[in-house]
Amino acid sequence: MNDAGPPAFTLRALHRRAMTDTWLKGLGTSGIMTAFFVGYFAVLRHPIFPVTTVPATWIDGLVGFQPWTLAAYFSLWFYVSLPAMMLTDRRQLIGYGVGCVALGGAGLAIFLRWPTTFAPPDIDWSRHPWIEFLKTTDSAGNACPSLHVAFAVFAALWFVRLLPEIGGGRVAQSLNALWAALIVHSTLGTHQHVALDALFGIVLGAHAAAWNFIVFPRRASRAGERAALWTAVILIKLAAILLWTSGIPLAWCLAIFFSAGGLVLWHLFAPNAQGLVRVMSGFATDRREVWLTLDDGPDPDDTPRLLDLLDQHHARATFFLIGQNAARHPELVAEIARRGHEIAHHTQTHPTAAFWCATPARVRSELDAVPPALSAARRFRAPVGIKPLSLAAALRERGLTCIGWTIRSGDSFARDPATVAARVRKTARPGAILLLHEGPSLAPAVRVQAVAQVLADLTADGYRCVIPPDEALR
């Protein structure tokens, strides 16, 4: 569970990373870039709809023609390939490639439906022949949103997420921000785009990265997830404000501004989302082992029968107990521990409806106002997987690890145990965390019987139910 600390941020370490899966990185990077440029120039030269001219704004008046920014402009194509070079997890590498393809595809779709250009700047290009070729290459077409800016923001956010894993500290993060900012600035300094193009590019790139992180969550270190999420949110909101001051209709700007809130809401409500709290959703094992977790107890009717079932199958489980239930039945809590199972924390009252917006004081109360057995627990599960903004700090202060799940059994809304068992059996795999429940919230036919059928199926399939050590969690 605990990260061993960041590795040394050395040239040798970076070289080792770059040399991992070099064939996949080389072919993938060159293939994606080639496909993008083919599509870009095809859409540029064959517009289907009338071309819209994007106006200059007050921001453009602040940025004059700056040929020296050409180096930063061209550095994008090296910069955007660097995150791929630094990735060693093949799933994450593929995820980065998928994100780049999705971003490029979204931009080309916008250009196809809404081709744009901007008025040529009043520049004597004959005085700058070494930069004039840029104007003849794309003739200021496919302007809004600036995909140059979008890809710079996308890569920058990936670096925010990746640098803690490879040992990059504040200096590396500052250099990353500076490089990305220079690339964004260069699109205006070389007069390849106007400010509106760049601002919409920021919005597109930030959204693309944030959703890319949701689709491809990290399996190991998640140190940069929270920073990447909030950086994306800030960039989107700042771009929305600048768009409003630049004459874009208020309704559009409000939609963009609050779309960033949608990213936060996803991480509040999606059980295994990593952007607000580090959530463990599996464990590493090379055996046919799963982790059975039982929520909402203890229950005087269900818990004794569940304990007997677990003994019959030589299974170990973690009971995520509600504090007020544990206070009513301390003898059951003691019996769970005596039988060799783990007692874990599931809040004092199991709030659901308003827990997502709980104040820090309410979160502290839910964590602290529990019986001693739960106070000593080191693992926590949020009710229904909902994570308020202050939860991460509260868990860190108390040394609690947030546990999600790999397989949601569906017993909470099932009407027969066979349905629950079939769902678990179909999706079971080594290292999975199984979520089941006990207590009166379940249908009478499902209570205990669903767990009994699940245990029987797991035993028949050669699985053992174990409680994984901290270092195996991921």
Annotated active-site positions, please? 295, 437
> What is the maximum alpha-carbon separation in the chain?
88
Q: How many residues does the chain have?
A: 474
Q: How far apart are CA 467 and CA 25, in angstroms?
A: 38
Q: How far apart are CA 76 and CA 419, in angstroms?
A: 52
Q: How far apart are CA 267 and CA 86, in angstroms?
A: 26
Q: Which residues contact 372 (CB under 8 A, 6 or more apart)?
A: none
